[in-house]
């Protein structure tokens, strides 16, 4: 690829990022504030528990009774994925505004993937904030094993939020209602796998991660349906 062409591509991608940001910014900031509030609440509650209870007893409850002091965050990634997906894609598909985007001088699949990548990176930053904040809280009170347990517990939740985001993108772009419903049923079934109580093994997490990142291909398919006016 020529340098000039690369510069043009970067310029266009930056414009796509700009457009996506304009759509999601207020919802995004609201989600950011929400997670900071919830994580701070978790931290304060934990520090209070540590202050008034015996630390060793609390460790025991966490290890043997599987007590999750961070449980309040469980459905927040799902909420983030759904809200960001909705505010990003609803304006595109109302009044078939996506036609404007697909008419831009960029290959259609490329522009759909760029939109998806932008949204994914934005929610990934929020998920990184959750992960880093929770890791900081957990590691300040507990040993490495509990931090590891916490991370393997929240990872399926984060995957759930990611899958919810990809589902929103695909559902909004899909022009046929019956296909939308099938897509939703499939996604809900997949999400329920992620929210099953109990420990996920490394191999199951790996499989769930791979399956989550197959969702964007569904967006390509629904984009194709939209592009070809399939009814």
Partner 1 sequence: MEYVVEVKNLTHYYGKKLVYENLNFNIKKGSIFGLLGKNGTGKTTTINILNGFLKPTEGHCLMFGEDSYKLSPKTKARVGFLIEGHIQYSFMNILQIEKFYSQFYPNWRKEPYWELMAKLKVTEDQKISKMSCGQRSQVALGLLLAQNPDLLILDDYSMGLDAGYRRLFIDYLSEYAKAEGKTIFITSHIIQDLENFLDDCVIIDYNSVLVTMPIKEFQEKFKQYKFDTPNSELTLQKNDVVRNFENIKGHASIYTFSELYEVEEHLKKINVPYNNLRLESMTLEDAFIGITGKY
Question: Is residue 48 near partner 1 by the rule CB under 8 A?
Answer: no
Q: DSSP per residue over 48-61, as a string?
A: HHHHHS-HHHHHHH
Q: What is the rounded CA–CA span in Å between residue 174 and residue 155?
A: 28
- Cβ atoms of 77 and 158 within 8 Å: the answer is yes
**Quick one: which of 149, 135, 142, 137 has its CA closest to 198?**
149
Selected binder of partner 1 within 63, 102, 124, 221 (CB under 8 A): 102
The nearest distance, CB 137 to partner 1, in angstroms, is 36
Selected binder of partner 1 within 6, 7, 22, 71 (CB under 8 A): 22
Question: Is residue 12 near partner 1 by the rule CB under 8 A?
Answer: yes
**Choices 53-61, 91-99, 113-121, 148-156; region in contact with partner 1 by CB under 8 A:** 91-99
Six-digit token string for 212: 């989550």
Q: How many whole angstroms from its chain centre is CA 204?
A: 19
- Tell me how many residues contact partner 1 (CB under 8 A): 24
Question: Is residue 200 near partner 1 by the rule CB under 8 A?
Answer: no
Nearer to partner 1, 74 or 101 (CB): 101
- Cβ atoms of 92 and 98 within 8 Å: the answer is yes
**Quick one: which of 174, 82, 62, 80 has its CA closest to 126?**
80
Question: Is residue 23 near partner 1 by the rule CB under 8 A?
Answer: yes
Question: Is residue 97 near partner 1 by the rule CB under 8 A?
Answer: yes
**Choices 46-54, 104-112, 135-143, 183-191; region in contact with partner 1 by CB under 8 A:** 104-112
Q: What is the rounded CA–CA span in Å between residue 100 and residue 74?
A: 37
Q: Which residues here bind partner 1, judged by CB under 8 A?
A: 11-12, 14-15, 18-19, 22-23, 91, 95-97, 99-100, 102-107, 227-229, 231
């Amino acid at each position: 690829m020529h340098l000039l062409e690369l510069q043009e591509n970067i310029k266009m991608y930056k414009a796509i990022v700009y457009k996506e940001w304009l759509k999601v910014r207020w919802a995004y900031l609201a989600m950011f504030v929400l997670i900071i509030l919830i994580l701070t609440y978790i931290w304060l509650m934990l520090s209070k528990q540590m202050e008034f209870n015996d630390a060793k007893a609390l460790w025991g409850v966490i290890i043997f009774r599987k007590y999750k002091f961070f449980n309040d965050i469980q459905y927040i990634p799902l909420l983030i994925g759904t809200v960001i997906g909705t505010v990003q894609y609803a304006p595109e598909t109302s009044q078939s505004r996506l036609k404007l985007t697909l008419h831009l001088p960029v290959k259609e699949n490329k522009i759909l993937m760029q939109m998806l990548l932008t949204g994914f990176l934005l929610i990934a930053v929020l998920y990184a904030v959750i992960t880093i904040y929770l890791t900081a809280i957990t590691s300040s009170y507990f040993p490495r094993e509990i931090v590891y347990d916490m991370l393997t517990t929240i990872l399926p939740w984060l995957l759930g939020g990611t899958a919810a985001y990809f589902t929103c993108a695909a559902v909004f772009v899909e022009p046929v209602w019956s296909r939308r419903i099938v897509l939703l049923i499939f996604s809900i079934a997949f999400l329920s796998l992620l929210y099953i109580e109990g420990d996920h093994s490394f191999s199951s997490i790996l499989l769930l991660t791979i399956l989550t990142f197959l969702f964007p291909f569904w967006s390509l398919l629904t984009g194709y349906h939209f592009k070809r006016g399939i009814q």
